[in-house]
Structure 1
Amino acid sequence: MRAHLVRVDAVIIQAVIAGALSFSHLHDLASAAGQGGWKAWAYPVSVDLLLVAAWRRMRGQQRAGQVAGGPRLWFLVALAASLGANVATAGLLDLDHVPASLRVVVAGWPAIAFFGGTLLAHTPHGPETPAVTDSPATDASADPEAAPTAAEMPGRVSLPAPSSDLEPVPEIATEPVTTPASVPAPVPAVALPPALVDRVRALADEHRSTTGRPADPDTVRARLGLPPSMTASVAAHL
């Protein structure tokens, strides 16, 4: 436990030191480019916030299985701004005579950061795919005691047990029972995660309190953004 706390403290201290140095370099560069007063202090905050926001949005879209090209682009832009300020203040640039091109970049940064932050804030969040556990059909096949009996299997007729005498049992001609092609096989209900079950029940209670009628499984499933195949799973918890 103590070793874990030591590792966490070391990471936090390292992050604070690196953040303070980067903050100071961005402030010095903005001040040298003509942005004095409170504006010089606002530039490091803008760059670091855009960097963190782009990183979190990129990771969230990657976990949801979505393409994160936009957040990755703004993450690289903020990283280039932070890294460029750190390198520029390392003695490679005369802060008393800043080039005009750098002044233009520093002056135009607020518009760039505002545009990138707006796009990141309005990027739609995709619904996360719920974790699918083993279906009842799989569990039944794994448990030999839960295997269907002959009476439950379509197309088969159970024969009576042979008597104690040796009289032959007449064979019964049976015909396989075919299911019409127009009737689809029922889809087994898939177990839902506890968090999703709580959400289903909350929506059902809200619908009942608003309309006075039980909630429709298709309506609850559509509001959760689940595929149509999950209707039976939703209905099992209503």
Structure 2
Amino acid sequence: MTRLIRPDAVLVQAVIAGALSFAHLHDLADAAGQDGWKAWAYPISVDLLLVAAWRRLRNSGPSRLAWSWFLIALVASLGANVATAGFLDLQHPPAWLRFGVAGWPALAFLGGTLLAHGATPLASTAEAAPAPEPASVTAARTPDPVPEPDELPTVEPTPALPEAPSTPAVVAPAPLVAHARKVADDHQARTGIPIDTDTLRARLGVPPAMADAIAAQLT
């Protein structure tokens, strides 16, 4: 079943921003004297350096090298956007702009080489780890001597744990007992038989343990 491609707002925004930045870099390079195919190569070089630095950050973790070249490529991209917005006279570009555009290929080549072939933190950690000893050296080691039976340490018996204290008896308060006595007398006067524990507990609304304690005091 073919999955439907749904437009994503972030993806559309990224495509628009990338296209505009690409066009601005082309216009800036063309104004600085890099016409023809060379003007189209400059935005590709800037974007590739930006992607290479970002991949280095994602794969190898934060580092000064990756962050430095990421900021350099980002400044080049943002600078082209600002320069083509009317802040510079592209009909008569200044000398420093021509110098920067002409020197960018060498700078981008240096950054791409360092990002692609620089040592990563994982590689340096692996190099710093000590190498395992050969199997022959491990086998040649003398085993530790086994202690004689007389030299074995004496194991003292584990002391017995103290018994858990018994559950304290439930003591009914005197006012509650007095009220229960009235209830019991009323029940016996009406029915002619003494009140049982279940009926007493239901009339007083107390837990079973409390009802047993009250019934024991009424007898």
TM-score using structure 2 length: 0.53
Question: What's 1:36 paired with?
Answer: 35
Aligned match of 1:79 in 69, 74, 77? 74
Structure 1 Cα separation of the partners of residues 114 and 13 of structure 2? 31
Structure 2 residue runs of 5 or longer lacking an equivalent are 126-152, 157-219
Q: Secondary structure at the match of 1:28?
A: helix
Question: What's 1:54 paired with?
Answer: 53
> How does 1:178-193 map onto structure 2 within 5 Å?
none
Structure 2 Cα separation of the partners of residues 70 and 82 of structure 1? 19
Report the alpha carbon displacement of residue 106 of structure 1 after superposing the two structures with TM: 0.3
Report the alpha carbon displacement of residue 9 of structure 1 after superposing the two structures with TM: 2.0
Percent identity for Structure 1 against Structure 2: 68
> How does 1:154-165 map onto structure 2 within 5 Å?
none
Number of equivalent positions = 125
Structure 1 Cα separation of the partners of residues 42 and 11 of structure 2? 23
Bigger radius of gyration? 2
Greater percentage in helix: 2
Question: What's 1:20 paired with?
Answer: 19
Structure 2 Cα separation of the partners of residues 71 and 101 of structure 1? 26
Structure 2 Cα separation of the partners of residues 42 and 102 of structure 1? 17
Structure 1 Cα separation of the partners of residues 122 and 112 of structure 2? 22
Question: C-alpha offsets along residues 102-138 of structure 1, whole Å, 9 cap, x if unaligned?
Answer: 1000000000000000000102344499xxxxxxxxx
What's the C-alpha RMSD, in Å, of the aligned pairs? 2.4
1:116 and 2:116 correspond: no
Question: What's 1:89 paired with?
Answer: 84
TM-score using structure 1 length: 0.49
Structure 1 residue runs of 5 or longer lacking an equivalent are 130-173, 178-238
Residue type at the aligned position of 1:175? T
Preserved CA contact (<8 Å) 2:60 2:122: no
